Amino acid sequence: MPSESFSVIVDPNRWQRSTEELARTLSPLMGVSPPVLSSLLLRGPMTVEADLSHSAAMTLCSKLVGAGVPATIEGAGDETISDHINVSDIEKMLNAMGIDAIEVDDELELMPRTAPFEPLEPRQMPAAAPVDSGPITEPGWQSLFPDITTNPVPLFDEGETAEETPRSKASLMGLSSDVMDDLPPEPEARIEPPKRPEPPQSMGALLEKAEESRPPFAPTGFDDRAPHIPKLARLLSVLAPGAGQVYNGDDEVAIDFALNAWKLKPWADSVRHAERRAERVQTFWLAWPKPGNVFRAIKFLAAYWLVLGAIFALVFFVVRAGLAVVDREPVETVTEQDREFAFSNAKGKVLEARVAALDALSDSIANAQHERFTMTDEERAERLYLTGYQDCVARRFDVCEAAMRKVTALDPANRNAFRLQTWANAQRMNPDGTKMPDVGEVPTLEDFEMEQLEEEVQP
């Protein structure tokens, strides 16, 4: 009769594809990684679940078979309960349990656990020759092994045990009983009594021990206060020595650090002190600061830098005023005894100042005149061109050529000057009566001066 406990087994030998693919199929169903399942499946059939009821085993086997896994159900006596399950039976079972059917191949079915075979017909074995079981009487064996006797002496007599017969121990060790009598007695094994377990502590003692290990300032129940942050205390102390101490609630220590911060070492000490104290406050080993400690720390930081800025400004103005007094020229003082000398000295300085003023006035007038009568290269070239043109009209070829050469030197862009210079040079070398080149209407020098004056007069 089958037992009441069943096991669900997966046989990889019935899987038509690779073991790794079977492991990947089983992994989401069993919650085990594919490499572990693959190593287990390589050893042979694997038990998925044991000690199941028949209904639980059928449910699990149905899920595995629905996923395409070759699963079987076996009883406690290795009796196969289900070696062949059809998909139609699985769908009926799942619908009865209220589980959605799994879409699988209709032809999917499990192979039997072991390949079917037909028993072979029994064969008649040849009869063995009778063996003489008489006593050992060969002298050769008796001489080699004298201890072997035809009638061996029993180790234990009737009614005796191994503990009551010392001769048995001597026989087992290969010694005579006389030698065993000379051996010292074996020490008796000491069995230590079991230690008595410590009595369990009462709930009150446990609560007292927990209360002793509890931080002294730890709150009881829900703590709605804002967390105390050691890094914030460190940052405040870096910005202003003593601000981190105000954040921790140590206002007296903060004043000392702020007053001695100019030495720089107390400033660094305030940073370390603030962070360590904040860590102890955070773990409730120190008293929690009063509410509003963050705003008080910010006020302390602002006041510290305002006072420091006022001190620096005051020092700056004092130093600047002192330097102005030091650099100021000394004021000459006149006494009654030096009155005449002072008047004469003053007259001399007034005269010197007057002379300097007149010199400056004359220099300014000279500069103005110089600027007024100084011509630019363009104006000088224009004036030379006008005078030279009159010489060319009067057929004074040498003067015309010299004037036009200066004009081209001052104003290379004047093409008419080049033409008149070439013509005057040719006529001077070989006067043949060639007509003067037409350079357009050219005003006289007087007309040019009048135009310049009119331009200066006009605002």
Per-residue pLDDT 10s for the chain (459 aa) are: 444 788 888 888 888 888 888 888 888 878 778 888 888 888 888 888 888 888 888 888 888 888 888 888 887 444 444 433 433 444 444 454 454 444 434 333 333 333 343 444 444 544 444 444 444 444 454 555 555 555 555 544 444 444 444 444 444 444 444 544 554 555 555 666 655 555 555 445 555 555 566 788 887 767 778 888 999 999 999 999 999 999 998 888 888 888 888 888 989 999 999 999 999 898 888 888 988 889 999 999 999 999 999 999 999 999 999 888 888 877 766 566 567 777 778 888 898 898 888 888 888 887 776 656 667 788 888 888 888 888 888 888 888 889 889 988 888 888 888 888 888 888 888 888 888 888 887 877 777 777 777 776 665
Q: Could you tell me the CA-to-CA distances from 85 to 62, 64, 79, 89, 125 in Å, in that order?
A: 8, 11, 16, 7, 42
Identify the domain containing residue 62 by its residue range.
6-97
* Cα dihedral value 442, 446, 452, 457, nearest 10: -140
Positive or negative torsion for Cα 348, 352, 357, 358: positive
pLDDT recorded at residue 311: 93
Q: How far apart are CA 241 and CA 244, in angstroms?
A: 7
Contact indicator for 98, 31 with CB cutoff of 8 Å: no
pLDDT recorded at residue 444: 77
Any domain includes 31: yes
Any domain includes 19: yes
Any domain includes 206: no
Q: Which one of 49, 76, 97 terminates a domain?
A: 97
pLDDT recorded at residue 170: 45
Pair 368, 390 in one domain: no
pTM over 0.75: no
Pair 395, 416 in one domain: yes
pLDDT recorded at residue 302: 93
Cα 230 to the chain's mean position, in Å? 22
Site of tokens 């069995």:
191
Site of tokens 């601000």:
243
Q: Which one of 346, 373, 400 terminates a domain?
A: 373
Pair 361, 381 in one domain: no
Longest dimension (CA), the chain: 182
CB atoms within 10 A of CB 257: 24
Q: How far apart are CA 166 and CA 176, in angstroms?
A: 10
Helix (H) or strand (E) holding 51, with range, is strand 46-52
Any domain includes 296: yes
Any domain includes 278: yes
Structural domain tally of the chain? 4
Pair 296, 350 in one domain: no
Q: How far apart are CA 153 and CA 453, in angstroms?
A: 169
Pair 415, 444 in one domain: yes
Q: Which one of 68, 97, 126 terminates a domain?
A: 97
Q: SS3 of 49, please?
A: strand
Any domain includes 394: yes
Tell me which amino acid residue 145 is.
Answer: F
Pair 278, 361 in one domain: no
Cα 223 to the chain's mean position, in Å? 33
The two tokens of residue 155 are 């180790």
Pair 20, 36 in one domain: yes
Pair 416, 451 in one domain: yes
Site of tokens 């013509």:
423
Contact indicator for 59, 102 with CB cutoff of 8 Å: no
Q: b/e for 163-181, b at 16 or more Cβ within 10 A? A: eeeeebebbeeeeeeeeee
Any domain includes 306: yes
pLDDT recorded at residue 164: 45
Any domain includes 73: yes
